[in-house]
Amino acid sequence: MTTAIPAEAARPARTPRPTTTPPRRRPRRHRPSAWAYAAPALLVYTGFLVYPALQSVYLSLTSWDGITPDKEFVGLDNYRHLADDPVIGTAVRNNLLWTLVTILLPMLLGLALALALNSRLVRGRSFLRTVFYAPAVLPLVSVATIWGWLYNPTDGAINEALTTLGLEALTHAWLGDDSTALWATMVPAVWVRTGFPLLLYLAALQGIPRELHESAAMDGANAWQRFRHVTLPGLRPTNHIVLALSLIESFKVFDLIYALTYGGPGRSTQVLGTWMYFNVFQYYQSGYGAAIAVVITLVAVFVGIPYVLSQTKD
Partner 1 sequence: MTMDRRRFLSGAAALAAALGTAGGLTACGGGRLQASPDRLSLFTYLDATQAPLLDQVLDSFRDESGITVRHDTLPGSGAALFPDKVRTQLLGARPPDLFMMWGGQIAAPFIDAGQIAALDEVYARHGWDELLNPAAVRDMTFDGHRYGLPGVIANLGCWYRTDLFERAGVSVPTSYDELEDVCDRIVASGVVPLATGGVYGWDPMRLFEYLLEITAGPELHDRLLVGEASWDRAEVRDAFGLFRKWVERKWVPEGFLGITPDVADSYLTQGTGAFLITGQWQEYTNNASGLDPELFGTFVLPTGHDVVRTSGWTEGFFLSKASPNGENAARLFDFLLTPPAQETFAGFRTPLTDLAPDPGELPLNARWLELGRRHPHYVIQDQAFPKDVSDAYFQIQSDIAQDNVSPRDAAARMQDAVTTWKEGQVR
Q: Should residue 59 be labelled a site residue for partner 1 when binding is judged by CB under 8 A? A: no
Pick from 135, 237, 265, 304 the residue near partner 1 by CB under 8 A.
Answer: 265
- Smallest distance, Å, CB 175 to partner 1? 3
Name the strand (E) or helix (H) holding 253.
none
Pick from 234, 237, 264, 304 the residue near partner 1 by CB under 8 A.
Answer: 264
Which residues inside 220-239 make contact with partner 1, applying CB under 8 A?
A: none
- Smallest distance, Å, CB 95 to partner 1? 19
As a dihedral over the C-alpha atoms of residue 265, residue 268, residue 273, residue 276, rounded to 10 degrees, the angle is 90
- Smallest distance, Å, CB 111 to partner 1? 32
Which residues inside 276-295 make contact with partner 1, applying CB under 8 A?
A: 278-279, 281-285, 288
Distance CA 217, CA 46 (A): 54
Integer-rounded Cα Rg, in Å, for the chain is: 28
Pick from 5, 9, 13, 36 the residue near partner 1 by CB under 8 A.
Answer: 36
* Whether 94 contacts 269, CB under 8 Å: yes
Which residue, 196 or 275, has its beta carbon nearer to partner 1?
275
Q: Which of 164, 175, 189, 205 is nearest to 268 (CA)?
A: 175
Pick from 37, 45, 73, 302 the residue near partner 1 by CB under 8 A.
Answer: 37
- Smallest distance, Å, CB 139 to partner 1? 16
Q: Should residue 153 be labelled a site residue for partner 1 when binding is judged by CB under 8 A? A: yes
Distance CA 70, CA 242 (A): 44
Which residues inside 132-151 make contact with partner 1, applying CB under 8 A?
A: 148-149, 151
Amino acid found at 223: A
- Smallest distance, Å, CB 282 to partner 1? 5
Which residues inside 168-187 make contact with partner 1, applying CB under 8 A?
A: 172-178, 181, 184
Q: Should residue 39 be labelled a site residue for partner 1 when binding is judged by CB under 8 A? A: yes
Q: Where are the alpha helices (DSSP H) in the chain?
A: 7-10, 32-45, 51-59, 77-84, 86-118, 125-133, 140-151, 157-164, 178-193, 195-207, 210-218, 223-226, 232-234, 236-251, 255-260, 272-277, 286-313
Distance CA 90, CA 270 (A): 7
- Smallest distance, Å, CB 266 to partner 1? 4
Which residues inside 81-100 make contact with partner 1, applying CB under 8 A?
A: 81, 85
Q: Should residue 268 be labelled a site residue for partner 1 when binding is judged by CB under 8 A? A: yes
- Smallest distance, Å, CB 287 to partner 1? 10
Q: Which of 65, 46, 51 is nearest to 290 (CA)?
A: 65
Say whether 73 sits in a helix, a strand or coil.
strand
Q: Which residues bind partner 1 (CB under 8 A)?
A: 33, 36-37, 39-40, 43, 47, 65-68, 81, 85, 148-149, 151-155, 172-178, 181, 184, 261-262, 264-268, 278-279, 281-285, 288
